Amino acid sequence: MSDALLRVDALRIALASNRTTYNAVEEVSFEIGRGEAFGLVGESGCGKSITALALMGLLRQPLSLAGGRIVLDGEEIQDASPAEMRRLRGKRIAMIFQEPMTALNPLSPVGRQIAEMYVLHEGMGWTEAMDRAEEALRQVRVPSPERRIRDYPHQLSGGMRQRVMIAIALACSPELLVADEPTTALDVTVQAEIIDLMAELCAAKGTAILMISHDLGLVANMCRRVAVMYAGRIVEAQPAEAIFATPRHPYTRGLINSLPRLGERSRRGRQKLQEIAGTVPSIAGYPAGCRFNPRCPEATDVCLAVPPAATPLPADGLVRCHHHG
């Protein structure tokens, strides 16, 4: 078998409602190699964030894992006990969230929150762990780390807090970093710095990244391969350059063509933006067949009736469309 670090196979996540159970995520499969940066792109509600929570073993009611396998380094972890997952989280898989203010403990100095990682996972004493925490803050380029380790989260700016989150996540040199919209809450110039920092540190530690974002441009810039999710399913996966050069799913094409791109007006004059018609369906109202069919310019009868199967593409890619041409 392949030597993938993480293999997700036919993942299904159920959302329990009053009377019925919906599949919030289904047939989601992908692989991430050691040290590889893999991107998962989609709009709000498409299931990308709960896919990340499933990997971390953090799904809570009304969400639950309803099927599929999650294989980390050859070992199935989808049925691991809470205690086993606690040992895994932070040590081998770590996560960064969108909003660092709500992810950090407001009542604990940031140095202590970093040091906790060494104490819990590496059995270090607190004194030594605090020294390591200072070093970790220096690595994420927080100025004057010797003073900052005593600061509480509210004393830091948004960018600094996200650096602290990165320091916590990478403290134990995990094999996989799950980053869920890590820069969405930050200003654009700060965003660029944080992304560069994350990529650089992960490359140095050999940590693989699962980058989750709604921003296709950002993900394609940083990741080797990209998967696009729509309404709970992966509709296309390709290497980053290929997804822009030859997008195969009408949704991906729509996303790429609908956004005004910097420099485009200089090159071609102002063109009317290509719209994707309609709106994102809600989970209770997923259409039959291909879930993109009400918005798809190429939809035919088969799209209304039959959910498209995944057609393999080169380089471990796939497209889920009846007319992928």
Partner 1 sequence: MAEPLLALDDLAVHFKVGSALAGGVRTLKAVDGVTLDVKPGECLGLVGESGCGKSTLALAIMGLIQPTHGRIRLDGVDLSQRQRLETARTVQMVFQDPYASLNPRQTVRRTLADPLRLHGVTDRAEIDARVKDMMDRVGLRPEQADRYPHEFSGGQRQRIGIARALILKPKLVICDEPVSALDVSIRAQIINLLLELKDEMGLAYIMISHDLGVVEHVSDRVAVMYLGRIVEQGGWQEIFENPRHPYTRALIAAIPDPFHRAAVSARAKAKGEIASALNPPPGCHFNPRCPLKADRCVAEVPVLAAVAPGHRAACHFRDRTG
28 binds partner 1 (CB under 8 A): no
Q: How far is the CB of 83 from partner 1 (least distance, A)?
A: 39
Distance CA 155, CA 159 (A): 12
Number of H helices, E strands in the chain: 13, 12
Residues in 89-128 that interact with partner 1 by CB under 8 A: none
Could you tell me which of 220, 310, 163 has the C-alpha nearest to residue 38?
A: 220
Beta bridge partner(s), residue 11: 28
Cα–Cα distances in Å, from 190 out to 106, 162, 181, 184?
A: 22, 10, 14, 10
Q: Is 160 in the site for partner 1 (CB under 8 A)?
A: yes
Segment (H or E) for 268: helix 264-268
Contact call for residue 218 and partner 1 (CB under 8 A): yes
Phi and psi at 80, nearest 5°, equal -60, 150
The residue within the footprint of partner 1, chosen from 215, 294, 307, 310 (CB under 8 A), is 215
Minimum CB–partner distance for residue 214 and partner 1 (Å): 5
Q: In one letter, which amino acid is 159?
A: G
Tell me, residue by residue from 43 to 62, as one string, x for binding to partner 1 by CB under 8 A and - for no binding.
xx------------------
Strand partners, 15: 22, 63
**3-state class (DSSP) for residue 173:** coil
- 191 lies in the site for partner 1, by CB under 8 A: yes
Q: Choose, by CB under 8 A, the member of 1, 83, 107, 262 that binds partner 1.
A: 262
Q: Which stretch binds partner 1 (CB under 8 A): 83-91, 171-179, 203-211, 274-282?
A: 274-282
Cα separation values, 18 from 21, 22, 122, 283, Å:
8, 11, 44, 14
Q: Which of 82, 106, 123, 263 binds partner 1 (CB under 8 A)?
A: 263
Residue 153 touches partner 1, criterion: CB under 8 A: no
Sign of CA dihedral 188, 194, 198, 204: positive
150 binds partner 1 (CB under 8 A): no
Reported for 15-19, long-range contacts at CB under 8 A and 24+ positions apart, including other chains, are 15/62, 15/63, 15/283, 16/61, 16/62, 16/63, 16/64, 17/62, 17/284
266: contact with partner 1 by CB under 8 A: yes
* Residue 147 binds partner 1, judged by CB under 8 A: no
Please, what is the angle between helix 110-122 and helix 158-170, to 10°?
10
Count of residues in contact with partner 1, rule CB under 8 A? 46
Rule CB under 8 A: choose which of 53, 120, 199, 259 binds partner 1: 259
Q: Is residue 284 involved in binding partner 1 (CB under 8 A)?
A: no
* Binding segment (CB under 8 A) for partner 1, from list 121-129, 218-226, 296-304, 307-315: 218-226
Q: In what order do the strands lie in the sheet with 75-76?
A: 21-32, 6-16, 63-72, 75-76
Tokens representing residue 181 in the block? 């919209």
Q: Is 159 in the site for partner 1 (CB under 8 A)?
A: yes
Task: Indicate which single residue of 105, 108, 274, 300 sits in contact with partner 1 (rule: CB under 8 A).
Answer: 274
Q: Tell me whether residue 174 or residue 182 sits nearer to partner 1 (CB atom).
A: 182
Q: How far is the CB of 200 from partner 1 (least distance, A)?
A: 13
Q: Look up residue 55 and give its amino acid.
A: L
CB of 29 to partner 1, least distance (A): 24
Q: Which stretch binds partner 1 (CB under 8 A): 52-60, 68-76, 85-93, 255-263?
A: 255-263
Residue 264 binds to partner 1 (criterion: CB under 8 A): yes
The footprint of partner 1 (CB under 8 A) covers 43-44, 157, 159-160, 187-193, 195-196, 214-218, 220-222, 240-241, 244, 251, 254-255, 258-266, 270, 272-276, 279-280, 295
